[in-house]
A and B are shown apart, each in its own frame.
Chain A
Amino acid sequence: MTTPSPSAAGSAATGTPGSVAAGSRPPSDARRTRGVGSGLLPYLLVAPVVVFIVGLALVPAVFTVIQSFYRVDALDPPTRFTGFGNFVRLAHDKAVVGSIGNTGIYVVVGTLLSTVLGIGAAVVLQKPFRGRSLVIAVLILPWALPGVVEGILWTGIFDSTSGLINGLLSSFHLGGSHVLLGEHRLLTIALIELVQVWQIAPLSALLILAALQLIPGELYEAAEIDGCGAWSAFLRITLPLARPGIAVAMVQAVIATLNVFDQPYVLNGAANTAASVTMQTYFISFQDLDFGEGYALSLLITITTLLISLAVVGGIYRRVDL
């Protein structure tokens, strides 16, 4: 609930703090003994952060869970218990059901594409070369930009008259003036997701690159001596040993794509063709003022995000011993 970052790394970095932290724990406990008897000081130091997190993250999260079983509607007071009423209404809302399908496509396309591109970029950058840090700087540039503006940048690429894509198509005599966004549902969703992938793939690349840096070069040398080609070295050494990085990268992609808002909102507006579930949460809560239904949808998105993240971590994150 933290990291109000629709964008990547906020939630990304999150991936697996708890579980990974455990690995690096043992030595530090002994060191800390020095602090025994510091009295109140540590509590004073952590108090502001704890107050913030409890007050503006944990309590609101509990609020979301409880209120999703209440009818909370500014236009239909008072607030009252409704059981699964909000969820039933969600299930009968065509726009919501449609947005679930749209979001499913965002998640699948976005996670696969950003992971594949991330692996590709990481392999290109695996060995040091002159100018590599400059390439990495340019690589992470799209990650650092606001999703809203990325939507505007890519509107220029996709534009049916002045856009780069149509310009290239007509330069190569493949016809021009194709309407790319808003007409065909799948094409619209795929192109919008491409824009989000532009934003999140850099972090995937970085996370996977970090994992690749830990692979000892001797493994590749030994493989080469054994007559193993580049492709099979990639399949047998790079991919398996990059698993932890790939898993964290996929988790950040799942979180980002499941909660996508900025790109479809800017590129396609309120139209149902490509609206995401987070957009529907926004419309239901802040345009229809039906907070109860909004809470219910938020809760569903959160639970889904957690379940898929856990599944990815469980399925792909495997401890690799070198």
Chain B
Amino acid sequence: MRNRSGALRWIGVPVILLWSLIPIYWALKTSVQTEADARATPVQYFPTSPTLQNYRTLLSGSSDVADQIRRSAVNIVVECGLATVVTVVLATLAAYAFARMQFKGRKILFYSVLATMAFPAYTTLIPLYRIMSTFGLVNTYTGIVLVYVSGFLPLATWILHNYFASLPTSIEEAGLVDGANRMQVLWHLLLPLALPGIISTALITFLFAWAQFLFPLVLSSDLSTQPLTVVIASLQGRHVVPSTLLNAAGILTIAVPAILALSFNRYIVNGLLAGSTK
């Protein structure tokens, strides 16, 4: 048994690593090549004369494409940052009440919030677009952030509810006996304990927001609010954009989520499992 599982691991672990990393390696390799090298036959598996020219073009060049990438990078950071902060703050308050307080209608409200998770995201694509356009919120950060927050709140509330519910009640009771009010208990006693859950929720929310494509595609028609994902997809359709440049843009787009996922994987894994199997 032991030996056999050892053999399984010797084959399985390299397969997992290669499967996850090869596509990223290939884009990274292409992004540091010249277009001629990238198109050379036979195919070069390693960059023979690596260059950072594509990254320089995108980050400090003055071309149209570079401008679009830089502007949409600002947009995606603003939108994901705002959506994450609003989602986590609102979800924390609600999750605390749902997990720790007794009030009329608690169950109905809680389950109506959770029930929306069972529907696919795009159920509300068209109505949300029409609501946003009625209120003049197309092509605004507000419109995109509102939609993101409404989408991420149920999962965030659910994950945080589970964290709060798993904390011991004794600390809280001691606080209440000492004369602290509910909000003081939340702020001084429970939040520090729930911090891992809050970090998980923030990371997962941020990663979801960063990955959005169809919603911002519909909700933003110009560079004032288009995030990187939308701009990069539009570049892909244009054959004038060299593949090496496109891959450099792709690597820049995945840099942030990749670093977050690798650095904080423990929080992400815990959050995902708290959100799905509790």
Contacts and interface: CB of A to CB of B under 8 A. Distances in A.
Interface of A: 1-7, 9-15, 17-18, 20-21, 24, 28-29, 31-36, 38, 41-43, 45-46, 48-50, 52-61, 63-64, 67, 120-121, 123-127, 129, 133, 135-157, 159, 161-164, 166-167, 170-171, 176, 198, 202-203, 206-207, 210-211, 220, 224, 230, 233, 244-245, 248, 252, 255, 258-259, 261-262, 265-266, 269, 278, 281-282, 285-286, 291, 294-295, 298-299, 301-302, 305-306, 309
Contacts of A233: 1
B114 interface: yes
Interface in B1-39: 1, 4-5, 8-9, 12-13, 16-17, 19-24, 26-27, 30, 38-39
Contact of A148 (B229, B272, B273): B229
Given A2-B116, A13-B276, 4 more contacts: A10-B208, A152-B27, A163-B43, A210-B273
Nearest to A159: B243
A42 B120 CA distance: 29
A285 B130 CA distance: 11
Interface of B: 1, 4-5, 8-9, 12-13, 16-17, 19-24, 26-27, 30, 38-43, 45, 90-91, 93-94, 96-103, 106, 109, 111-131, 146-155, 157-159, 165, 169, 172-173, 176, 182-183, 204, 207-208, 210-215, 217-218, 229-230, 232-233, 236-237, 243, 246-247, 250, 253-254, 257-258, 260-262, 265-266, 268-269, 272-273, 275-278
B117 A17 contact: yes
Given A28-B99, A164-B26, A50 B131 contact: no
A153 B26 contact: yes
Nearest 5 pairs of A and B residues by beta carbon: A167-B43, A124-B12, A56-B150, A35-B101, A60-B127
A214 to B, nearest CB: 10
A54 B150 CA distance: 9
B150 to A, nearest CB: 3
B123 A61 contact: yes
B19 A198 contact: yes
B20 A24 contact: no
Contact of B101 (A11, A38, A151): A38
Contacts of A145: 211, 254, 257-258
A38 B149 CA distance: 27
Contacts of A136: 265, 269
Given A10-B208, A156-B247, A2 B150 contact: yes
Contacts of A46: 93-94, 97-98, 109
A273 B235 CA distance: 22
Contact of B258 (A4, A56, A144, A282): A144
B38 A162 contact: yes
Given A33-B102, A230-B1, A295 B126 contact: yes
A124 B218 CA distance: 41
8 contacts: A4-B125, A13-B275, A34-B173, A45-B94, A127-B5, A146-B257, A152-B232, A248-B277
A259 B120 contact: yes
B150 A298 contact: no
B204 A57 contact: no
A124 B9 contact: yes
A6 B207 CA distance: 12
A13 B30 contact: no
A124 B8 contact: yes
B118 A31 contact: no
A123 B122 CA distance: 34
Interface core residue of B17, B90, B125, B247 (most chain A CB under 10 Å)? B125
A12 B211 CA distance: 15
A285 B214 CA distance: 13
Given A6-B214, A10-B151, A147-B211, A1 B12 contact: no
Contact of B123 (A1, A21, A138, A146): A1
